[in-house]
Structure 1
């Protein structure tokens, strides 16, 4: 079921014209940058976007302009864990087996999860309760188990679906931001 929903959502994203995609993401950014969670965060965790994901480059640039620290994860497949590292224009990046750009752990500064105020959690689709279908690795669900900061998803409205089938280990995000505005999820309690 998750696989089908993932494929359907990715197909809908692919059907958006470049102009429509850019217009919607620009609107999404405006909503995000007005949020208290964004404005109060000193350290933001996010992944490097690729393909038809909402581009995170503008988030990184805005965060730097506002004096925020940006950190990006590196995944460790051997133990299915990930560690966030500070990301600057000088950070040495490697391409992982998923094609993600990740900081080189041998020359990067790790950031403890207690220092990350706002975590922008990637995903293919999300429901109104904050549950998501990611890319299948389960890295974020494991990482977020004891994370105490604010979790937020950025997605276009075509990525919002009625119901995500959930499993015991799934962790919902607390906020969803799309081109239509911000939505506090109904299940999230921290």
Structure 2
């Protein structure tokens, strides 16, 4: 089977995603967030890792108000060298623009996720560029989520994307972490 390289697929998907209007991004993001809020993984999670969206990624930050109302503790990532560290997202947290132009926790008051043990189940909501119906995932090429999730056996993972980002199959590698679930504006893949 002749399959495009990960790099080519990533480039094509990012180009297609960049073409979405703000209205399309908002409408799809609201739908995706509503579906996530109905999952058992969300209901059981006391701690939820979100991400700060860039370049028309699904706006998972739309979940913030409801998640706080539901008593969830929220965490957001910061790239520190080759490592993705999640920090507790407090409403008055100082934010800075970090790696790749992404908003991330700033200041020294931020509390890192290491405050949670690996036995504490966390729901990690993760972005990506391309996904398969078998739940394979192509991220942005840095392997940050793969490294973060390695060894965290109790965590649940939900990858979010627009439906056009889901292919029949993808080239997967052994170290690639498969999310437990993929949610798009049209379907949920478990």
| Length-normalised TM-score, structure 1 | 0.88
Question: 1:32, CA displacement in angstroms?
Answer: 1.4
What does residue range 97-176 of structure 1 map to in structure 2 within 5 Å? 97-104=99-106, 106-111=108-113, 112=116, 114=118, 115-147=120-152, 148-176=154-182
What secondary structure, in the 3-state scheme, does the structure 1 residue paired with 2:108 have? coil
Change (3 A) 1:105 1:160: farther
Which segment is superposed worse, 8-17 or 132-141? 8-17
Q: Check whether the contact 2:79–2:99 (CA below 8 A) recurs between aligned residues.
A: no
Cα deviation 1:42-66 (Å, max 9, x = unaligned): 1001211112100122122221121
Cα deviation 1:130-156 (Å, max 9, x = unaligned): 221111111111111111211111111
Structure 2, gaps ≥5 residues long? none
Question: 1:105, CA displacement in angstroms?
Answer: 6.2
What secondary structure, in the 3-state scheme, does the structure 2 residue paired with 1:98 have? helix
Identify the structure with bigger relative contact order (alpha carbons < 8 Å, sequence gap 6+): 1
Kindly report the root-mean-square deviation, in angstroms, between the aligned alpha carbons of the 2 structures: 1.7
Alignment partner of 1:177 is 2:190: no
Partner residue in 2 for 1:187: none
Partner residue in 2 for 1:23: 27
Pick from 8, 11, 15 the counterpart of residue 7 of structure 1. Answer: 11
Change (3 A) 1:16 1:83: closer
Pick from 43, 48, 52 the counterpart of residue 52 of structure 2. Answer: 48
Partner residue in 2 for 1:91: 93
Change (3 A) 1:104 1:15: closer
Partner residue in 2 for 1:57: 61
What number of residue pairs does the alignment pair up? Answer: 182
Cα deviation 1:112-142 (Å, max 9, x = unaligned): 3533520012111111222211111111111
Partner Cα distance (2:7, 2:107) in 1: 31
